[in-house]
Chain A
Amino acid sequence: MATAAAAAHQPARTQHGAQDGAVDEDAYQRVFDAAVSADERIEPRDWMPDAYRATLVRQIAQHAHSEIIGMQPEANWITRAPSLRRKAILMAKVQDEAGHGLYLYSAAETLGVGRDELLDKLHTGRQKYSSIFNYPTLTWADVGAIGWLVDGAAITNQVPLCRCSYGPYARAMVRICKEESFHQRQGYELLLALSRGTPEQHAMAQDAVDRWWWPSLMMFGPPDDESAHSAQSMAWKIKRHSNDELRQRFVDICVPQAESLGLTLPDPDLKWNEERGHHDFGPIDWTEFKEVLKGNGPCNEQRIDQRKRAHDEGAWVREAAAAHAARHSGGATGRGAGVEQA
């Protein structure tokens, strides 16, 4: 908050700065709008419109949920990784994802919601996670395709979020993007090793790219003319680019990378358009996208079931930790009370 404009806004933007007790919503709204248009960051104690808060809670929570559900398709291959080096890389990646989930739940909590409440919404299907994690990892090459394409799409989406108007989210994204870009390079390198390996390995890599390409393009969300939240999110500078714009950017990045990998992308309509300065690409199967979002993808049920099982089976562990903590922070009740009381 170094700018003069910010300094001038600060007392009015902070709810705690209101001295007279009278809440002038319009004045707060004007200050909020000015801060957003000046590209300043909104912080947890600043006034913000209810709809802005609700949109951020939904988006950050779903982002957090995607990180933790996203551990599953990759963790599926940890016990089968074909070399110790690859096993270490994959474990480190899945660990990073759990860490990203933690950052993002913390960012969401600055908006006044609790992690438990958000997890409960995930488990009961009231909040979603990225559609991509409802696809199965059928071979080792899928681990590479996820790194290259899925993390690549995630980065394309997330780098602009580092400049998002909500400070805690933007800062979480700076940390996350650093790790994500490392994962993406690892995925690319894994596929390269397969592509240059035996014919069986090359075929495995091509098959994985064939299965993950279209679902990765769907990660950018519905086309701009069908995107319900886009206009408002862009006005609030939560979102900086449209879905279609980011999707195009991703395709343009991937085409030359696929070429250096020695792999093809499964789209007969894909070709360079000199006039637009972009690649044209074929139509996305939005029916499939909608089905997956509705819960009818190949793994929707198993992903949520596993998450719920881990949570339910872990309840006694969390209860034990809470009971232990309560006993040793003053309150002496329950089993073993007094055992360690000084």
Chain B
Amino acid sequence: MTATGKTRTQGSVTPAALALGDDALVLSHRLGEWMGHAPVLEEEVALANIALDLLGQARVLLSMAGDEDDLAYLREERAFRNLQLVEQPNGDFAHTIARQLYFSTYQHLLYAQLATAGGPFAGLAAKAVKEVAYHRDHAEQWTLRLGDGTELSHERMRRACAALWRFTGELFQPVDGVDADRTALEAAWLESVGDVLRRAGLALPEGARTGAWSAGAGRQGVHTESFGRMLAEMQHLHRSHPGASW
């Protein structure tokens, strides 16, 4: 079954499934890059666990839009619909945690809405919301430890939160086929992230949350530079053996 074949039969679900599925796929890949490099063994386990949960979600979502492997391995950069936030390189541990805090808070609030809203994503969301609650807790706990840890960790956490801030506006751009109350989502997200940062001795970063090149751009297939390199690595082997099964 080709991606195109299924796209025709499930036309209305596809854009949303790709957007949500690509978010999970790309963030899972980034977290996979940590394996063997984490600051403490317990985090090897935790980051891998989160990456696996996300990969599981990605597989369900991409399968709603077509063949999971065709979609993951044979699309080019401009056809990916993930948020620019999730493709950001890992950076240091604070950077990874800030990305997790922003994304898992958003994903938890969104999936909680989708789980109760009925519709094509209710089943997935009901299962995933439990996983994501754990991801969110993990990110919050580390934000507190780093923000309210040492001088150095405080400064790194502050810088990471500030650096990723301009990618957070995209979280609340409308996605075709995702039936969510975006205003409520954004308000709840700002309140939650603000509260965690405050408890960590940090403030909500200042400055624009969107820019000419980031407002909704990922959802349109416009990505940041490092993303192409990430895909090259991810897709290389699969593309080297066209038609092979693994």
CB distance from B51 to the nearest CB of A (A): 6
Given A320-B153, A336-B154, answer yes or no on A75-B69 (Cβ-Cβ < 8 Å). Answer: no
**Once bound together, how far apart are the Cα atoms of A235 and B45, in whole Å?**
37
Q: Residue on A with the closest CB to B48?
A: A95
Does the CB pair B45–A99 fall under 8 Å? yes
Q: In this assembly, does A36 line the interface, its C-beta being within 8 Å of a C-beta of chain B?
A: no
Does the CB pair B48–A340 fall under 8 Å? no
**Chain B residues with CB below 8 A from A92, complex form:** 48, 52
Does the CB pair B145–A68 fall under 8 Å? no
Main DSSP-derived SS at the B contact region: helix
Bits for B186-209, please: 1 = Cβ < 8 Å to A, else 0: 000000000000010100000000
CB distance from A334 to the nearest CB of B (A): 7
Does the CB pair A78–B35 fall under 8 Å? yes
CB distance from B30 to the nearest CB of A (A): 9
Does the CB pair B59–A84 fall under 8 Å? yes
Given A317-B93, A317-B153, answer yes or no on A201-B52 (Cβ-Cβ < 8 Å). Answer: no
**Chain B residues with CB below 8 A from A316, complex form:** 150, 152-153, 156
Given A83-B238, A102-B45, A197-B244, answer yes or no on A310-B153 (Cβ-Cβ < 8 Å). Answer: no
- Count A-B contacts at CB 8 Å: 158
Q: In this assembly, does B169 line the interface, its C-beta being within 8 Å of a C-beta of chain A?
A: no
Interface size on A, residues (CB 8 A): 54
Given A91-B55, A95-B48, A310-B36, answer yes or no on A193-B246 (Cβ-Cβ < 8 Å). Answer: yes
**Chain B residues with CB below 8 A from A80, complex form:** 233-234, 236-237
Q: Residue on A with the closest CB to B148?
A: A336
**Once bound together, how far apart are the Cα atoms of A317 and B92, in whole Å?**
10
Does the CB pair A339–B244 fall under 8 Å? no
CB distance from A135 to the nearest CB of B (A): 16
Q: Among residues 134 to 156 in chain B, which have CB atoms less than 8 Å away from a CB atom of chain A? A: 144-146, 148-154, 156
**Chain A residues with CB below 8 A from B43, complex form:** 314, 317
Q: Residue on B with the closest CB to A88?
A: B55
Q: In this assembly, does B40 line the interface, its C-beta being within 8 Å of a C-beta of chain A?
A: yes
Q: Which of B35, B49, B68 contacts A75 (CB 8 A)?
A: B35
Q: Residue on A with the closest CB to B198?
A: A339
CB distance from A169 to the nearest CB of B (A): 18
Given A98-B48, A99-B45, A317-B153, answer yes or no on A79-B233 (Cβ-Cβ < 8 Å). Answer: yes
**Chain B residues with CB below 8 A from A123, complex form:** none
Q: In this assembly, does A293 line the interface, its C-beta being within 8 Å of a C-beta of chain B?
A: no
CB distance from A87 to the nearest CB of B (A): 6
**Chain A residues with CB below 8 A from B148, complex form:** 324, 327, 335-336, 339-340
**Chain B residues with CB below 8 A from A198, complex form:** 241, 243-244
**Once bound together, how far apart are the Cα atoms of A194 and B246, in whole Å?**
7
Q: In this assembly, does B1 line the interface, its C-beta being within 8 Å of a C-beta of chain A?
A: no
**Chain A residues with CB below 8 A from B69, complex form:** 83-84
Which of the listed residues B42, B151, B154, B245 has the most CB atoms from chain A within 10 Å of its own CB? B245
Q: In this assembly, does A319 line the interface, its C-beta being within 8 Å of a C-beta of chain B?
A: yes
Main DSSP-derived SS at the A contact region: helix
Q: In this assembly, does B58 line the interface, its C-beta being within 8 Å of a C-beta of chain A?
A: yes
Q: Which of B52, B59, B72, B156 contacts A91 (CB 8 A)?
A: B52
CB distance from A272 to the nearest CB of B (A): 33
Bits for A65-89, please: 1 = Cβ < 8 Å to B, else 0: 0001001100100111111111110
Bits for B1-45, please: 1 = Cβ < 8 Å to A, else 0: 000000000000000000000000100010011011111111111
Does the CB pair A95–B45 fall under 8 Å? yes
CB distance from B15 to the nearest CB of A (A): 20
CB distance from B161 to the nearest CB of A (A): 15
Q: Which of A85, A319, A325 contacts B153 (CB 8 A)?
A: A319
Q: In this assembly, does A323 line the interface, its C-beta being within 8 Å of a C-beta of chain B?
A: yes
Q: In this assembly, does B56 line the interface, its C-beta being within 8 Å of a C-beta of chain A?
A: yes
Given A79-B32, A86-B246, A193-B246, answer yes or no on A320-B55 (Cβ-Cβ < 8 Å). Answer: no
Q: Among residues 301 to 316 in chain A, which have CB atoms less than 8 Å away from a CB atom of chain B? A: 306, 309-311, 313-316
**Chain A residues with CB below 8 A from B149, complex form:** 319-321, 323-324, 335
Does the CB pair A314–B44 fall under 8 Å? no
**Chain A residues with CB below 8 A from B73, complex form:** 82-83
Q: Which of B49, B72, B151 contacts A335 (CB 8 A)?
A: B151
CB distance from B133 to the nearest CB of A (A): 19
Does the CB pair B41–A101 fall under 8 Å? yes
Does the CB pair B150–A334 fall under 8 Å? yes
Given A98-B41, A197-B245, answer yes or no on A72-B36 (Cβ-Cβ < 8 Å). Answer: yes
**Once bound together, how far apart are the Cα atoms of A284 and B223, in whole Å?**
53
Q: In this assembly, does A148 line the interface, its C-beta being within 8 Å of a C-beta of chain B?
A: no
Does the CB pair A83–B41 fall under 8 Å? no
Q: Closest 7 interchain pairs by CB?
A: A314-B39, A320-B149, A320-B153, A95-B48, A98-B44, A317-B39, A75-B36
Contact sample, A vs B, 10 pairs, CB 8 Å cutoff: A71-B35, A84-B58, A94-B36, A95-B48, A98-B48, A102-B42, A200-B241, A313-B92, A318-B40, A336-B154
User: Interface residues, chain A, CB within 8 Å of chain B?
Assistant: 68, 71-72, 75, 78-88, 91-92, 94-95, 98-99, 101-102, 105, 140, 190, 193-194, 197-198, 200-201, 306, 309-311, 313-321, 323-325, 327, 334-336, 339-340
Known: A84-B58, A318-B39, A320-B149. 11 other contacts (CB 8 A): A82-B237, A84-B55, A85-B246, A92-B52, A94-B48, A194-B246, A317-B39, A317-B153, A319-B149, A327-B148, A335-B201
